[in-house]
Amino acid sequence: MSARVRSRRAQAVLVALIVVFSMAMPHRAATAADFYTPPSPLPAGKSGDVIRSERMNYKATVPALARAWRVLYLSTSATGRQIAVSGAVIVPILPYGGPRPIIGYAPGSHGLGDQCAPSRQIDAGTDTEASLISLLLGRGWAVAVTDYEALGTPGDHTYMVGPSAGHAVLDVMRAATRLPDAGLSASAPMAVSGYSQGGSAVGWAAQIRGDYAPELPIKGIAAGGTPADLNAVAANLDGGPEAGYVPMAGVGFDAAYPELPFEELLTAEGKALFADIRDDCLSEIQGKLADRRMNEFTTVPDVLELPAWQARLAENKLGGATPGVPMLLYHGLLDVTIPIAQAGTLRRTYCSRGVSVQWNVYPADHVGTAVLGSIPAGNWLSDRLAGRGAPSNC
């Protein structure tokens, strides 16, 4: 081989490497300030249709060679209204041997302010779950991440409202297959994963998928640290160091169900505080509300005990429908944030209805279990995507 040929081949390899790494480096495309503001009226279309998309950065402490897009897509509110939801679609750069699997990823609690949305934080390199997403990307899978209703987009985030979150998860998976540049197939094997708020969201996705998105070829759903019973979770958190989750849910349910009595039951301090946290991220909310009780901000002893609230909380309790796909449920034995007992009740409910459930427990707290459970959850998802029989320890 001549020196000239060797030189040209070396140059070709160098160019190829530059192209690959430039695709993985932060994307610098100009972002329209109003990307997250939906058009009014919304365009005609069906749930999962992409309203708009653009390239974004993918930044994580655990890096991954991937391209990413932010997307604005059609979805459905808890009460059946058509809405726009934002999210991100992230695709590994390296080729995959066959149709690339798609993981619907439901993030944990980020807060109430639009700047807290996962797609915004991933783009900025500040998202705490991006490294967990990198573990999925490292397996060659595409990941479709939802921001949920009104987190990133205008309005109050419907925090912990199950049907809205389930719709948003399923629809971002649809959107991923309708994003031409992503090169993903609607017939590729799919799975869903989420922890904490995300565990509830994917539980709802599992329960409504048969009626709402039966065409999605979902092979399994992994839910960790799941707040299945919001009454039990609220009773555990109220007045404690992580009490901020309770008023966040108050804001979320008030946004989703306008008929619920809420604003009119707040004291002057309650109104000021709730107005203040509406644009905060999780750490700020927890700092402002640590060790406070909801009844310190209301004119009634317990808003959640009012009949209208109990009716909506009952509707949002997981276990009311039977998932049609195998489930992995996992929880920390030392979790003082989301009680393991109520997650165990969900497991027994699903098992009693014939669902194939794998139940894993870890000697860790809420955050520690998110880390300890991530690799086993990925292995479980890998087996489901490969078509292997689902184990059950019901």
194-230 pLDDT, tens digit per residue, is 999 999 999 999 999 999 999 999 999 999 999 999 9
Could you tell me the pLDDT band of residue 15, with boundaries at 50, 70 and 90? very low
268-305 pLDDT, tens digit per residue, is 999 999 999 999 999 999 999 999 999 999 999 999 99
- Token pair listed for 79: 């009460």
Conformation bin of residue 255: beta by default, left when phi > 0, alpha when psi is -120 to 50:
alpha
Query: 121 and 261: one domain?
Result: no
Q: How many helices (H) and strands (E) does the chain have?
A: 13, 9
Query: 210 and 131: one domain?
Result: yes
Residue 169 lies in a domain: yes
Cα–Cα separations (whole angstroms), residue 1 to 6, 7, 300:
7, 10, 86
Bond from prior residue into 163 cis (ω within 30 degrees of 0): no
Residue 352 lies in a domain: yes
Q: Is the pLDDT of residue 8 over 90?
A: no
Q: Is the pLDDT of residue 232 over 50?
A: yes
Distance of CA 329 to the CA centre of its chain: 16
Query: 71 and 133: one domain?
Result: yes
Query: 162 and 261: one domain?
Result: no
Backbone angles phi, psi at 315, to 5 degrees: -60, -30
233-248 pLDDT, tens digit per residue, is 999 999 999 999 999 9
Among the listed ranges 11-15, 338-342, 350-354, which one has the minimum average pLDDT value?
Answer: 11-15
Query: 342 and 261: one domain?
Result: no
* CATH at 235: 1.10.260.130
Task: Give the per-residue pLDDT at 26.
Answer: 37
Tell me which residue of 153, 234, 160, 144 sits closest to 197, measured CA to CA: 160
* CATH at 350: 3.40.50.1820
300-343 pLDDT, tens digit per residue, is 999 999 999 999 999 999 999 999 999 999 999 999 999 999 99
Could you tell me the pLDDT band of residue 13, with boundaries at 50, 70 and 90? very low
Query: 237 and 223: one domain?
Result: no
Domain boundary among 274, 292, 313: 313
Task: Give the per-residue pLDDT at 316.
Answer: 98
Residue 25 lies in a domain: no
Task: Give the per-residue pLDDT at 199.
Answer: 98
Cβ of 199: how many Cβ atoms within 10 Å?
29
Query: 100 and 70: one domain?
Result: yes
CB-based burial label for 65 (10 Å; 0-12, 13-18, 19+): middle
Domain boundary among 252, 281, 313: 313
Q: Is the pLDDT of residue 360 over 90?
A: yes
Q: Do 193 and 202 touch, CB atoms closer than 8 A?
A: yes
Q: Do 105 and 193 touch, CB atoms closer than 8 A?
A: yes
Query: 225 and 287: one domain?
Result: no
Q: Do 257 and 269 touch, CB atoms closer than 8 A?
A: no
Task: Give the per-residue pLDDT at 379.
Answer: 98
Residues 6+ apart with CB under 8 A from 325: 206, 209, 218, 219, 220, 221
Residue 215 lies in a domain: yes
53-110 pLDDT, tens digit per residue, is 999 999 999 989 999 999 999 999 999 999 999 999 999 999 999 999 999 999 999 9
The tally of CA atoms less than 13 A away on the side-chain side of residue 9 is 6
Taking residues 183-187, what's their average pLDDT? 97
Residue 135 lies in a domain: yes
Residue 1 lies in a domain: no
Query: 122 and 211: one domain?
Result: yes
Locus of tokens 């590729």: 188
Tell me which residue of 335, 141, 136 sits closest to 225, measured CA to CA: 335
Tell me, what DSSP letter sits at residue 298? B
Query: 60 and 148: one domain?
Result: yes
Residue 384 CA to residue 150 CA, distance in Å, equals: 32
Task: Give the per-residue pLDDT at 33.
Answer: 53
CB-based burial label for 250 (10 Å; 0-12, 13-18, 19+): buried
Residue 348 CA to residue 261 CA, distance in Å, equals: 33
Residue 364 lies in a domain: yes
Residue 64 lies in a domain: yes
Domain boundary among 267, 283, 313: 313
Q: Do 131 and 60 touch, CB atoms closer than 8 A?
A: yes
101-146 pLDDT, tens digit per residue, is 999 999 999 999 999 999 999 999 999 999 999 999 999 999 999 9
Cα–Cα separations (whole angstroms), residue 356 to 128, 219, 384:
31, 12, 12
Domain, as residue range, for 181: 50-229+323-385
Number of domains in the chain: 2
Task: Give the per-residue pLDDT at 29.
Answer: 38
Query: 242 and 379: one domain?
Result: no
Query: 225 and 245: one domain?
Result: no
Backbone angles phi, psi at 327, to 5 degrees: -125, 140
